[in-house]
Amino acid sequence: RKKCLLCNNVLMLVAASIMGCSKISQSFEMILIGRFMCGVSLCVPLHHQYVGEISPRKLRGFANSTSSFFWTLGKAIGQISGQRELLGSQALWPLLMASCGLPALLQLVTLPFFPESPPYLLMQKGDTEGCKKAIRQLWGEGQHQAEIDDIVKEKATMKNTKILSVLELVREPAFRWQLYMIVILTSTIQLCGINAV
């Protein structure tokens, strides 16, 4: 999870650099490429997954809701800083386009000091000691055996569950209506007023 987030931040920095240099290069295609790279990044689902996995059970819901809060706050800051009086002017718009690299740079600098998520270490890597060390680093010293037991139970449940590839998921008729609903909801999210909120 952590390595994927770090790679994703590198992608965002490259995208921000391409968009920031588009005016100097006099190339609108660079804006299209940069925006495409921002669009294919996995920021939102990865953040939700990582934050949910490193949070203690009693704070997990709150931690996941803070991701949505900061996502919305970022959209609001982008809308405000895009005004002509701030970064939306003729001279400063490349800085506005490149500003998406600031959170990525901040995370790229700070994330190496965080441990990998405990469920990932235990379930995918089978590293019990690494899991315990990550839990102590994240949640402090104390009795965390109940959380480790929950992860072990989840791992046992996952052994009996077949994990489908993306292609298998698309071909599976039992999931077809759920997929249609997800595609419709995701494609219409820009029409729901979240930007105004």
Length of the chain measured in residues: 197
The rounded distance, in Å, linking the Cα atoms of 38 and 25 is: 20
Average pLDDT over residues 76-93: 85
pLDDT of residue 109: 92
Average pLDDT over residues 180-197: 70
Quick one: how far is CA 4 from the chain centroid? 9
Average pLDDT over residues 38-55: 76
| Residue 169: CB atoms within 10 Å | 14
Yes or no: say if 109 and 99 are a contact pair by the CB < 8 Å rule: no
DSSP state for residue 188 in the 8-state scheme: T
Q: What is the CA radius of gyration of the chain?
A: 20
Yes or no: say if 108 and 14 are a contact pair by the CB < 8 Å rule: no
